[in-house]
Structures are given as C-alpha cells and as structure tokens.
Structure 1
Amino acid sequence: MTFKALRLAALLACLAGASSPARANDTSAELAAGGLVLTRSDSIEMRSEDLYISQQAVRVRYVFANTSGKDVTVRVAFPMPDIGGPDFFQGDVSIPIEDAPANVLGFSTKVDGRPVKAQVEQKAIATDGEDRTAWLVANHIPLAVHLGGVDEALRALPKAKRDEAVRLGLYDPDQGGVWVLKTTYHWLQTFPADRPIVVEHAYTPSVGATVATNVGTEYGADIKDKYCVDKALTDTVVRAAKADENGNAPWVDHWIDYVLVTGGNWKKPIGDFRLVVDKGSPKNLVSFCGSGVKKISPTQFEMRRTNWRPEKDLSILLLVSRDAM
C-alpha cells in the first residue's frame, strides 16, 4: 500500500471530516457540493426548491416551469467536488464513498419520479492548469487519483514516461499523482411547454470534522462569522466546558458546505425556497447563517424565502454530542 493510500485508509477509519485552521492535525476536510446547474435559459423558471441537509443525506426537490410556449431542451449538470492536487491527502479529505471512481457522493437524480441516466465527464487537470486527460488515458493510468492503484501505475511506467509525467505536472515521486480530477454528471432535459416538471436529486455529503469544538475557545473567531455563531451558543459551550473536570465541552465540530450560488441560470429568482437542516440528535447543536430560521422538530430547523436569489453559499456548523456519536 502506498503512503497516499495509507493516509486515506487511516482517515476513512476515523472521523468523517473536514479542515479547520485551528486544529489542522486533528481534522479532515469537507468537499463542498451543491445543486443542479442548468445551461442559461430565459425560458425556464424555478417555481420552488426544497432542500434538506443532514450529515447522512442531501436531498433537493425542484419544480421547473417552461414559460416560452414551446418545448425547450437544455443541458442539466451536477458537478462533483474537485478531488486531488499536490496537497490533497495532506489535508485529510472526507470521501463519503471511498471506492467510487466517479461518483464519490453517490449522486442520483429523478425527473417526474423516473430515474435519469446521466453521462459522466471527467477531466484530469495538471498542476499547470492544463487538461492532461488524454495523456493519462493513453498511458493506462486511472483518472480517479483518490483510489488505490494510481501511484503504482505511475511508478510502473518506463522512466522516460515517468519523467514526462513529472514535466506535465501529473506526478510527484514523493506524493504520487498530483492532478485535480473534475467530474460532472450531465444530461439533456426537455422542459415541456404545457406543464411544470419535478426534478429530484440526492447524494451523501462530505462532512468535515475535528476532535473537539472550537466554539468558545481562542480559535472561535475563525468560525464565528462563517457559521453565524451567536452568544447564546457560545455561552452554552463555555458553561459545559467549565463544568467538566478536564475543561472539555462535550461536543465535536462537524461541518457541511453547500454551494448555492452557481445554479441560478434560470429566468427569475427562486419562487419558493425551503431549507431544512437536520442536526441529527437532540443532543447536538447547530449554527448557520440565515434569517427567519425556526425550529420545526427536536432536530430540524427551517428557513423559507420567496422570490429569492442566493448571494452566498451555505455553511453549516454541527456541534455533535460525544454521547450521540
């Protein structure tokens, strides 16, 4: 097993996790994903978006309407998070489905209740920014840089080819493969003129984690603004830490990033947007930026918007109780 594979195996055996500037050696980094991206169209409206996010699942239900008076066909895409790069495994990155060459999040989608068979496009981008997919394919090197066998295949190349891989920004003898794998699922979708259609998709999120919580510590300022951590939450954590004989609060930080702003290629703002964040256990705590958030169950929090166009992405901080892990 290579050094890179050992690092990944150790990571996946531990917490499902993410990066933090505060406790970098005890964290693993999340891969931010989001929703569907449509080719820009002035004919299609998003009537509604219903988004559910938990540590176990992201589920989105869209209702799209074509207002042009005639059927419109556009390409719909779901971009996977980028994987790879020179520092990829040094950051200890959370990969939900570890043995998938393309579908690391277990992405699936339906249109009007029927599964969609999407095409997959993968590109290997070298450290110089060039697309080197064709070179890797021609030399029988797997594109999935995160899987075992890649470094072995690179080392097995003739020396001239290995040297070429180094020159092309694909291979570092100390780190193995160093390209960034870009994966996109896409398909052509017809939006009929006479009725709205329902598009649903789901995947397993990449969840960042660390071994403690930074809330209420000297590192808390690093996350306060990103997750809108308020005084009440901070005070709760500080009180719990003071009550512990070792000064440790009974939670660990997990986090999920969701890309909201890249999908707005439709005619109008989202007509009706609903977000539900599920913290998992009543013992867990949660914080994210949003106004009008209300608690709708012991573990779920809801935010609604009308005629809304997101201006920034969503970052969710979960303080997971050690008792709930």
Structure 2
Amino acid sequence: MTQRPLAALIAALACLASAPAWANDTSAELAAGGLVLTKSDSIEMRSEDLYISEKAVRVRYVFANTSGKDVTVRVAFPMPDIGGPGFFQSDVSIPIDDAPANVLGFSTKVDGKLVKAEVEQKAIATDGVDRTAWLVANHIPLAVHVAGADEAMAALPKAKRDEAVRLGLYDGEGDEGPQWVLKTTYHWLQTFPAGRPIVVEHAYTPSIGATVATNVGTPYASEIKDKYCVDQTLTDTVVRAAKADKDGNAPWVDRWIDYVLVTGGNWKKPIGDFRLVVDKGSPKNLVSFCGSGVKKISPTQFEMRRANWRPEKDLSILLLVSHDAM
C-alpha cells in the first residue's frame, strides 16, 4: 500500500492551550490526544476506552481491518507544540521537562507488545519556515525547553546570532531567547491484518494547567462556564464553602486537562463503542466537563459512553482540587 508522507498525516492536532486571563495566577497545559492516521477506507475503530486523571491518560483501542487483505499504514502520535514567542511566560506545565522529545512520557503497545516508534522533530521559526537544518548545522539543541538551547544560541558568534534573529529563531533584544516552535511526532508503520482485530494501547502523563484558587463562584466564572459546562449545583457548592470560610475562600484550586478527541474521526466509521472515565483523584475534589449521560461509577470516577460516535469537538476537564487532597 502506498504511504503518504508523514507531514500529510499531521495537521495542528495537538496545540498549546493558552493560559486564560483569569484573576488568579495561572499555569497553562499542553493538549494532547489520540492516534492519527490518514483517512482510511479499510480500518474501523471498534472501540475506544479512555481514562483521564491528573496522574495518567490511558487509552485502549480495538481496530479491525475490513478490506479482506492486510493493510499497512503509518500511525502517528503528535506531541504538543513547545516554544514560540511568549510560550514560557505562561508557566506552561511540562510533566517531564528533562526529556528533549517525549515530554509526556508517551508509550504504545500493540497486542501487548511495546512499539518502538520513530521520532520526527522540526523547529519552526516565527515566520513559519522550517529551520531545523540551520539549528543542527550550528549545534543548537532543538529542544527549546531544556537547558542548553538558550546557552548555545547565546554562545554563537555575533554574525550567527544576528542571522538567527533575521531567521526568526532568536530574540536579539528582549529576554525571551530562542523563539522557534518545536514540533515532535512519534510514528510507526502498523500492519492491520485482515479478519483479526488488534488492540492498541497508549499511555502518557498529562500536562496540567492550574490556578492558585478556584474561579468557580467568582466574577471570573463566566470565562470557564461554557468550556467546562459548569452547572449551578457545582457553583452553589463552591459559594457555600466560601461563605463558611472565615476568610471567604473556597477550599479548592482549579486544575484543567485538555484532550484532543477529534482525531477519532479519521477512521472508516464512527467509533463503535466509546467509553470515557474521568477520575477526579479524591472524593473531596470536584469535577466538571461537557458530556451527556455522565454517571458516577465510584467515589472518584465518572463515566460517559457512546455508540457509533464520531467526536466533533475536543474534551476539556475542570478539576477543583481540595486543599486537603494536595
């Protein structure tokens, strides 16, 4: 089967979720999601079982090839973009900050066996041009978020630093330093055998956005209400707790997780059986996200199920983490 270039598989499917302009100090998170491949007329996603908590994201897929013959396609997992002007001013949460490529600790298994994925990294300058080759030629680490990139750029001869400024790679006058966006994609060739379903599992540590207090029940609540479907019951709970506190503060802080769901629309048919479990971590925590038919299945877990479903928007989860659970 003819393979398309990897670039054809990836289109801004995982991106930086910018920090909202809320009253409290905030840190931003990196949105990630599921596996990606070109539109397929042969492969169906029979089921997707998705678990999301502060500590882990785990997904289990069952795929079936209905074409009558083995099909091999390139499957990809795009990491969130890292870097760019103003990126580090928002105190972005990078779970594994000493990993040049795999900042989320991403791993995949197929039928229980660990997949050794290839990695593609590109450094995109502020003008949108790929400047990976220039950085490599000048011995600049591509991973803008780890120690060494800024130092290596600053150590270049002045003529080279000036060139880096002209190329949109370096802030020559301000204090932001490297300006490129690092785009990282893990990918591998996967054979989907005819007539036999295969199980694909992946896991990673999510990037968590946070505030120093909750915005629910405050004048800033309107900025999060629609994104996370915050209802009146949750608001009343927070307001009552704030009124009972001697300082008027509710005993929770906001944390949020974004997950890219729309990549599930790349398969032959809608997802046959979709199951989402959101785990709030502690019975003292609160949680809110958009979804219908959500039911509580344990003191900390909430479940949503869909049949023959094609996601039309991504998932945003608001956790109100109790001070006692921190």
Matched residue, 2:12: none
Q: Deviations over 1:38-71 (max 9, x none)?
A: 2221000000000000000000000000000000
Local SS of the residue matching 1:183? strand
Structure 2 residue runs without a partner (length 5+):
1-16
Contact 1:23 1:210 in 2 (8 A): no
One-letter amino acid of the counterpart of residue 37, structure 1? V
User: Residue 23 of structure 1 aligns with which residue?
Assistant: 23
Give, as a single letter, the amino acid of the residue that structure 2 aligns with 1:154: M
- Residue identity in the other structure for 1:29: A
Q: Secondary structure at the match of 2:266?
A: coil
Q: How does 1:173-252 map to 2 (within 5 A)?
A: 173=172, 174-252=175-253
Structure 2: distance between partners of 1:114 and 1:149: 35
Structure 2 match to 1:287? 288
SS at match of 2:152: helix
Partner of 1:305: 306
Q: In structure 2, what is the Cα distance between the partners aligned to 1:53 and 1:160?
A: 48
Query: Which letter maps to 2:214?
Result: T
RMSD: 1.1
Structure 1: which 5+ residue stretches go unaligned? 1-16
When the two structures are superposed, what TM-score results if normalisation uses the length of structure 1?
Answer: 0.93
Asked whether the 8 Å contact 1:276–1:301 carries over to 2, the reply is yes
Q: Which runs of 4+ in 1 moved over 2 A?
A: 17-20
Looking at structure 2, the residues matched to 193 and 41 of structure 1 have their Cα atoms a distance apart, in angstroms, of 14
Indicate conservation of the 8 Å contact 1:279/1:300, yes or no.
yes
Question: Contact 2:83–2:182 at 8 Å: present in 1 too?
Answer: yes
In 1, Cα distance between equivalents of 2:23 and 2:273: 39
Contact 2:264 2:310 survives alignment (8 Å): no
The corresponding residue for 1:13 is: none
Question: Separation in 1 of the partners of 2:298 and 2:150?
Answer: 48
Contact 1:18–1:207 under 8 Å retained in 2: no
Identity level (%)? 87
Q: Partner of 2:225: helix, strand, or coil?
A: helix
Q: Find the residue that maps to 1:234 and give its secondary structure.
A: helix
For the residues of structure 2 that align with 1:194 and 1:311, how far apart are their CA atoms?
29
User: How many correspondences in the alignment?
Assistant: 308
- Write the deviation string for residues 239-298 of structure 1: whole angstroms up to 9, x where unpaired: 000011110000000000000013421110000000000000000000000000000000
Contact 1:66 1:195 in 2 (8 A): yes
- Using the size of structure 2 for normalisation, the TM-score is 0.93
Superposed, 1:32-43 pairs within 5 Å as: 32-43=31-42
> Aligned in 2, Cα 1:276/1:93: closer, same or farther, shift over 3 Å?
same
Whole-Å separation in 2 of the counterparts to 1:108 and 1:268:
26
- 1:14 corresponding residue in structure 2: none
Deviation at 1:21, TM superposition (A): 1.5
- Counterpart position of 2:96: 97
Partner of 1:321: 322
How far off its partner does 1:18 sit? 8.0
The C-alpha deviation readout for 1:118-161, integer Å capped at 9, x for no partner, is 00000000000000000000000000000111111001111111
Distance in 2 (CA, whole Å) between partners of 1:128 and 1:263 is 31
